[in-house]
Amino acid sequence: MRILRGAPALPPPRGGDGTPEQRQRRSAGPQTAPPRTAAERFAKAVWGPLLGLVVNLVLVAVKLVAGIASGSSALLADAGHSGADLANNVLVLGSLVYARRPADETHPYGHDRAEVLAAIASAFLLGGAALFFGWDSIQKLIEGTPTPTPLALYVALGTLVVKLVVMRVETRIARTVSSQAVAADARDNLSDVFSSLAVILGVLGARLGHPRLDGAAGVVIALLILWTGFQIGATATHELLDHNLDPQLLNQVRAAASAVPQVRRVRAATGRAHGSDVLVELSIEVDPTMTVAEAAGVAQRVRQAVFEAVPEVGDVVVELNTDHLARLWGRLQ
């Protein structure tokens, strides 16, 4: 982490509650602002995976019983998907509990990336479930299965409605608290919606005289699970590899810094996501004749301008540079 050149180092973001400056800035914001402290985030985020945990416990039991009773391989495959969702809920809850731990000497940025690790674990879990149930459904597609009873259709319709509700709730929570783990859980619920549609189509096809369509629906479910796992894993990997911020966000940061008086030019602007926070690094050009105190004041005003213009930014590191050519030209004159 770079520090102010020629000025006292500003403290790094303290995961959880943040620096005193961040706490003051956050408390001064509107009451409707997203939660920023670890306790506030946890209090809001935990309800999403808890709701999913309860729902998936019920769905696993219902789908297993209904799948066996109705003879639907697609519904049994979907029961396995719900079982993977259940494990995913446990992972997300565990990551949220760990992520709320405050920053310490060995983790000066906090523990927010535990949520990213949970998202990657979820991706592997979903991939394994997809391969297992995909192979099982292919075998049943080749061999054929008995025609499912209407019970499988009713359970699939009920699952579709319930998962739509859970998905909307978790998506809203994930956006509010900027949690990648909860967002991954919400996207997993979206795959459940599609898989329920596949079950419905498979059961209807089988009852209309095409029994292998039920197995085909199971294959579709497996592919949907696999694709969802890939997307979740790719998104989490981007954050672990410190992928640069969105260009639009960086342009907003540049504009805010450039508008500060005495900033001649913004040479570079980079950043990365760190859990719920966005960390930004700026390199600005100032007058080379400034004193250290004056330059530090400009850097502080740049930080404050970025905080006000881009609320999602959690911390800004400013590197001061000077126009060496202009300084040399001044000496020659």
The crossing angle, in degrees rounded to 10, of helices 212-240 and 180-207 is 170
Lowest mean pLDDT among 220-224, 297-301, 306-310: 220-224
Please say which residue of 240, 275, 310 terminates a domain.
Answer: 240
Mean pLDDT of 83-109: 81
Q: How confident is the model at residue 116 (pLDDT cuts 50, 70, 90)?
A: confident
Whole-number Å distance between alpha carbons of 15 and 113: 10
Within-domain flag for 30:
no
- Check whether residue 211 and residue 276 sit in a common domain: no
User: Looking at the structure, do residues 170 and 202 belong to the same domain, yes or no?
Assistant: yes
Q: Which residues does residue 277 pair with via DSSP β-bridges, in sequence order?
A: 274
pLDDT digit string, tens, across residues 225-269 = 788 888 888 888 887 877 788 888 888 898 999 999 888 888 888
Within a domain: residue 12?
no
> How far is Cα of residue 77 from the mean position of the Cα atoms in its chain?
27
Residue where a domain stops, chosen among 202, 219, 240: 240
Domain count, the chain: 2
Residues 254 and 180 in one domain: no
Residue 274 β-bridge partners: 277
Asked whether residue 5 is assigned to any structural domain, the reply reads no
Shared-domain flag, residues 146 and 228: yes
60 in the same domain as 203: yes
- Asked whether residue 109 is assigned to any structural domain, the reply reads yes
Could you give the percent of the chain with pLDDT greater than 90?
6
In this structure, the answer to whether residues 308 and 266 fall within a common structural domain is: yes
Residue 188 shares a structural domain with residue 270 = no
Q: How many other CB atoms are found less than 10 A from the CB of residue 283?
A: 18
Q: 175 and 280 share a domain?
A: no
303, containing H or E segment: helix 292-309
The continuous run of DSSP H or E covering 268 comes out as strand 265-274
| Residue 286 maps to a domain | yes
Asked if residue 22 is part of any domain, the answer here is: no
Residue 227 pLDDT? 86
How many Cβ atoms are within 10 Å of 326's Cβ, its own excluded?
Answer: 13
**Cα(261)–Cα(286) distance, integer angstroms:** 10
Instruction: State the pLDDT at residue 71.
Output: 75
**Same domain, yes or no, for 295 and 327?**
yes
Q: Is the distance from CB of 11 to CB of 22 less than 8 angstroms?
A: no
Determine, yes or no, domain membership for 133.
Answer: yes
| The last residue of a domain, from among 240, 259, 282 | 240
Residue 209, CA atoms < 13 Å, CB-side half-sphere: 0
| CB-count burial class (<10 Å; 0-12, 13-18, 19+) for 32 | exposed
- Does 20 reside within a domain? no
Q: Residue 288: which CATH number?
A: 3.30.70.1350
Cβ-proximal residues to 57 (8 Å cutoff; 6+ apart), any chain? 86
Give the pTM. 0.64
Residue 11 in this model has a pLDDT that exceeds 60:
no
Checking if the pLDDT of 332 tops 70, the result is no
Residue 118: give its domain's CATH number. Answer: 1.20.1510.10
Q: Are 186 and 54 within 8 A, CB to CB?
A: no
Query: Looking at the structure, do residues 141 and 210 belong to the same domain, yes or no?
Result: yes
Out of 7-21, 53-67, 205-219, 283-297, pick the least confident. 7-21
In a shared domain, residues 194 and 257: no
Provide the domain limits for residue 269: 244-332
202 and 254 both lie in a single domain: no
